Structure formats: C-alpha cells, structure tokens
Amino acid sequence: MGGRVISSVYWIGGGIPRGAGIEWFRSNGTATQLTYLPANAATFTEPQNVVRDPLVNNAVMLFNNNLIESLSDTVDFEFTWNNALGGNDPSLQVYIYCDRNHEIHLYGHPPTKAANMALFGTSFDASQTTWDWTPGMNFPNPSGFYKTSTNLPWGIEIVAPEFWIPNEKTEILLAYPQFRAWAESGGTVNKSWYNFPDKAQSHLP
C-alpha cells in the first residue's frame, strides 16, 4: 500500500526562515486515535527537495527547509506504507518549523520528538508540557497541543475554493471577524468563517 503527496506553497507571510515536514502515523480509521510506529513503517522515494527527517521516524522534510524562497514551488513524491506495521489506515500531519526545534502544528496535533518542549506553556500557549513518542504508544486526536488558553489554534487547515490572506501584520482575528467565536467554541459555531473575510484587512494573492 502507498500513495502520492503533492504539496505546494500558496502564500508566505514574513521572512523568517522555516521549513515544513510531514509525519505518518497508524490510525484507528476515524483518526480519533493515532499510534507511533517504528522507523520504516513509511518509506519514501526522494526526489529533489524531499528527504527523510533524520530526527523523526516516518517523516520527511520539504522544500529544502526553506519555505520563504519556495512560493509557488511544488514537491511531488510517493510513499510506500507497511500494512503489517501500520494497518490499513495511515494518517499524516503537516507542520512547519524554525531552527528545527521550534515547531507549529495544527490544533491538537503533538510535536515531533525534535521539538523543544520547554517552549510549551510559555507566553499565551496553553499546551501540555510533556509527551511520549515511544513506538506503539496510542494517543487521542486531538491532544492538548498548539492552542491558547481561549482555544485559539496555532495552525489551521481548511478546504476552500479561495482564501483571502490577512494583510501583513494583520491578525486573523481582524481579517476574519467570525474566526474567534469559531475557535473558542471548539468549532461548533461559525463553521464557514473562512467564507467571510474583511476584505479591507485581507487580500487574494
């Protein structure tokens, strides 16, 4: 079993150097529970710009770790999945990082074992501060990571025909007035918040 990943950089905010990665897990089918697996549960063909992450099992690094110079670039690669180890429902998460140990994941996704755990619980972050990456460990999805005390996420994932980008130095709370209530409710209200940008505070690339 396997698949193909096609990833492109749609927009970039700011000029801080950073990279991107993808990590694979075993899923219970609904992805409400994920499991860490030993190395080589996922194996990859590695064309230019995608390499296996030397610090994280079953993960790759994208765009030469240099997103800020990769606008509109595409990475296209295939992976093979070991069904005997991982079952029939692989799950993956995408994340970005700075200096490799400072990671940003989607709401509720745990950091990789390369992340600096001392950053959690500082400033406005309300993530838990300990974790176990042992192969075979099961964990709930979402878990208690990458959120503020008011449930605002550090990273989001949406599917939309178009997405207006907040203007430089403009918070998403201003660019999308319905976003705060959506996030603070845990996604139960304003489920289409991304369709209602304040166009004075945002733009289409």
For residue range 71-126, list pLDDT tens digits in order. Answer: 888 889 999 999 998 999 999 999 999 888 899 999 989 999 999 999 998 888 88
| 50 and 134 housed in the same domain | yes
pLDDT reported for residue 149: 86
| 151 and 196 housed in the same domain | no
| 10 and 39 housed in the same domain | yes
| 20 and 68 housed in the same domain | yes
For residue range 120-178, list pLDDT tens digits in order. Answer: 988 888 899 999 999 999 999 989 899 988 888 888 888 888 899 899 889 999 999 99
| 26 and 119 housed in the same domain | yes
pLDDT reported for residue 118: 93
Q: What is the mean pLDDT of residues 33-37?
A: 96
| 127 and 182 housed in the same domain | no
| 13 and 74 housed in the same domain | yes
For residue range 39-59, list pLDDT tens digits in order. Answer: 999 999 887 778 899 999 999
| Total domains, the chain | 2
The residues that bridge with 91 in the sheet, in sequence order, are 25
Strand runs labelled E in 68-192: 74-81, 90-98, 102-104, 138-140, 165-166
CB distance 74 to 5 below 8 Å: no
Residue scoring higher pLDDT (60 or 47): 60
Domain containing 23: what range?
2-157
Q: Which helix (H) or strand (E) holds 42?
A: strand 42-44
Reference 2, options 81, 76, 75, 92; nearest CA is 81
Length of the chain: 205
| 97 and 180 housed in the same domain | no
Rounded Cα–Cα distance for residues 51 and 49 (Å): 7
User: Where does the chain have alpha helices with state H?
Assistant: 83-86, 172-175, 179-184
Rounded Cα–Cα distance for residues 69 and 67 (Å): 5
| 139 and 179 housed in the same domain | no
| 153 and 164 housed in the same domain | no
Q: pTM for the full model? A: 0.87
| 131 and 151 housed in the same domain | yes
